Structure 1
């Protein structure tokens, strides 16, 4: 009786593990994987109480298997993490998902899941995704990393059929910036007295994305 019981337990554990990846997330991943590369123009505004920065422009590019890249002649993009809405880092290492139910937002019903890495190789500690399962895309992600803090991405789309967003808003902790604030380009001023007096230092990067050139 011991051997059949052992075989049953092994089979059951494998079956449970196979069920731990959310089917709707896999549908979204498959759709995102259809985009082999893209480039686009970016209009960026920084919303930080103690920083005044003029509107900036940049270029973004992405190719399968690589991180999204940002380039500009006027400023250094910040932070290094938290602006990649391709979410390639999430799928880089093995993980499981936990269904957190449904949530209503702006008249839409979104499915909420947690993503938990199963290996220490991943810098991701926990991610919460809000998925529009009808449009097969992610509307919001809350990412907690092991070394570089947490950030939130809010994504809006121009058309129902779009898989890539027309607007992305990233919220992040200023303390986690890895570059001096002086390197944010021409015309930027910093109120250091106000910066030191603030207990919670958070900011937002607002990105309008235009002129996509997508290759499938």
Structure 2
């Protein structure tokens, strides 16, 4: 009888641990730590109705824990931190978290975790994160900010050796909350054929990032990330 009760307690404790938001996030960070560095080619496609932005191609370099370098000849609406999907970067500042529920996302069983940054300096107020329970990778992020509304990031992953690195990322945001001029990304002049943004009207925009040609754990030199050296 005692053994039976002990087994019940063991399984209950094991189940409870999977419902701990902090532990779920730590599993994601541990899994991603297998990637020491990578180099990847990306295509960036901007879809905003009042902007004409050509498709951009770039190369991204990453090295643990949070070094990121983007080499591109063109323009990209998405900032560098938006292209850095490293869990260490997402969770590098103090935060509190809690498990909310399980939810299926595109046929994948995900744990939904709420993350609340601590301190007054954070632009993000609250993030909801969907985490693939089997692979311990982030499937989706939805964040509410102080000044720029709410944005979401959806991840799709490849198969095979690099299945913990995304094959595609879609960044969706409310353009009406962002201070972007109509001629942004153009030649400095308004285009009469380009749709005008209506003030105070909800305008959705997306940035799709397609990843290809991953080179992982080959040993990227720190000098790649030295911006001062590059400016010389």
Is the 8 Å Cα contact of residues 44 and 76 (structure 2) preserved in structure 1?
A: no
Name the SS for the 2:74 alignment partner: coil
Give me the whole-angstrom Cα distance separating, in 2, the residues matched to 1:62 and 1:148. Answer: 26
Deviation at 1:78, TM superposition (A): 2.9
Query: TM-score scaled to structure 1, two decimals?
Result: 0.77
Instruction: Give the aligned partner of residue 135 of structure 2.
Output: 135
Question: 1:110 touches 1:133 (CA, 8 Å); kept in 2?
Answer: yes
In structure 2, the CA distance between the partners of 1:41 and 1:193, relative to structure 1 (3 Å rule), is closer
Unaligned runs of 5+ in 1: 1-18
Equivalent pairs counted in the alignment come to 197
- Contact 1:112–1:129 (CA under 8 A) maintained in structure 2: yes
Separation of aligned partners in 2, 1:29 and 1:123: 22
Give the drift of 1:64: 2.0
Question: Is this contact kept in 1: 2:39–2:216, CA < 8 A?
Answer: yes
Runs of at least 5 residues in structure 2 that lack an aligned partner in the other structure? 1-18, 219-232
1:153 matched residue in structure 2: 153
Which stretch has the larger CA shift, 176-185 or 155-164?
176-185
Q: After TM superposition, give the deviation of residue 147 of structure 1 in Å.
A: 4.3
Contact 1:51 1:190 in 2 (8 A): no
**TM-score (norm: length of structure 2):** 0.72
Is the counterpart of residue 112 in structure 1 residue 119 in structure 2? no
1:124 Cα deviation (Å)?
A: 2.8
RMSD: 2.9
Question: CA 1:137/1:183 → structure 2, altered by over 3 Å: closer, same or farther?
Answer: same
